[in-house]
Amino acid sequence: MEGLNQFLFPALMLFATGLMGAMFKRNLITIFMSIELMLCGAMLAMLAFASEFNDMAGGVFVFFILTIAAAEVAVGLAIITQLFKVENTVSTKGMNTLGD
């Protein structure tokens, strides 16, 4: 494999794996972790392009993604904690009160 595709391939696979988890798993924690996986995949892809075209923007953006991922995990886990206190479960099976 050549340089770019070489690193894009794992990025894509990671992202796809995370997407499958987010779409089809019932456990909130698992879904959350899958979202983190997706972010990892995105980061890898950014870096791949950055290293290929020797552009700084990719790297800096990875920086930002990292930051945001951290913040997001914090907020998300706080929500999940509270949700667990109320519902006593982390399964998404009955959790559709946001809809109708």
> Interface residues with another protein (CB under 8 A)?
6-7, 9-10, 13-14, 17-26, 28-34, 36-37, 40, 43-44, 47-48, 50-51, 54-60, 62-64, 66-75, 77-82, 84-86, 90, 92-93, 95-100
CB of 46 to another protein, least distance (A): 9
Distances (CA, A) of 22 to 38, 42, 50: 9, 15, 27
CB of 92 to another protein, least distance (A): 5
Q: And the tokens for 53? A: 């075209």
CB of 10 to another protein, least distance (A): 5
Q: Which residue has the tokens 């998300």?
A: 76
CB-side exposure of 87: number of CA atoms within 13 Å? Answer: 16
